[in-house]
């Protein structure tokens, strides 16, 4: 029997025994989801390095909203992917293509609506989540970056991963999620701490020049 790396799409859907097909599809998916959990914790870890408990609390307050974006991704990705798999199993490839296009447009529409709604109703939503005087500013900044600006890319990446997995390319979908997670972990400290270090280490002459011009 061929290894999971040598299996093609047709074999997975038509001739491979169910336990072997599940193993070939599930193992990369589980690994990729573990990476998603790790890089979600990475944000909190790096924010914790600032020794500001209010920043950590602000990021924690946004976690339920971030989880909603993942649920929205599941709406189009998991649902559409399940239908695509059934259609491919019935050799109805044209319908599977139409479903994949619909799932992508649905994800774009829902993610854009959610991000826009979060941007408009930011204050009442943060109040409902429990943001107080000390945490509101940090929660708002994090929500703007992760939900309002990052909502569409987050939803699309998960939807595309599920759609790719639905056609039997679980390994490729997992590799994409793993690469994204590793990039997130690597780039977090770069964008969080390097600009701050540059600002703190700026030449005093330049600082006094700007101060005099204000």
- Write out pLDDT tens, residues 159-179: 888 888 877 777 777 777 778
> CA 179, 181, 182 angle in degrees (round to 5)?
65
DSSP 202: S
- Write out pLDDT tens, residues 121-141: 999 999 998 888 889 998 998
- Write out pLDDT tens, residues 5-62: 445 565 666 666 767 767 767 777 777 777 777 776 777 788 888 788 888 888 888 8
Mean pLDDT of the chain: 78
This prediction's pTM: 0.72
Q: Residue 2 has what pLDDT?
A: 46
> What are the boundaries of each domain within the chain?
9-208
How far apart CA 4 and CA 159 sit, in angstroms, is 23
What token pair was written down for 90?
A: 């019935």
3-state secondary structure of 152: helix
Task: Kindly report the three-state secondary structure assignment for every residue of 125-187.
Answer: HHHHHCCCCCCHHHHHHHHHHHHHHCHHHHHHHHHHHHHHHHCCCHHHHHHHHHHHHHHHHHH
């Amino acid at each position: 029997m061929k290894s999971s790396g040598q299996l093609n799409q047709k074999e997975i859907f038509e001739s491979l025994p169910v336990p072997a097909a599940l193993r070939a599809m599930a193992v990369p998916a589980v690994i990729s989801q573990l990476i998603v959990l790790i890089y979600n914790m990475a944000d909190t870890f790096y924010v914790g390095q600032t020794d500001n408990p209010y920043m950590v609390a602000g990021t924690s307050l946004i976690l339920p909203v971030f989880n909603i974006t993942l649920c929205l991704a599941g709406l189009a990705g998991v649902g559409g992917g399940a239908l695509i798999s059934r259609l491919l199993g019935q050799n109805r490839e044209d319908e599977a293509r139409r479903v994949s296009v619909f799932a992508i447009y649905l994800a774009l529409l829902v993610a854009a609506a959610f991000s826009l709604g979060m941007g408009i109703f930011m204050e009442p939503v943060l109040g409902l989540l429990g943001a107080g005087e000390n945490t509101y500013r940090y929660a708002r900044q994090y929500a703007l970056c992760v939900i309002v600006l990052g909502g569409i890319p987050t939803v699309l990446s998960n939807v595309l991963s599920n759609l790719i997995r639905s056609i039997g390319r679980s390994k490729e979908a997992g590799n994409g999620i793993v690469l994204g997670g590793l990039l997130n972990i690597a780039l977090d400290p770069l964008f969080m701490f390097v600009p701050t270090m540059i600002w703190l280490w700026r030449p005093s002459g330049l600082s006094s020049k700007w101060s005099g011009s204000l």
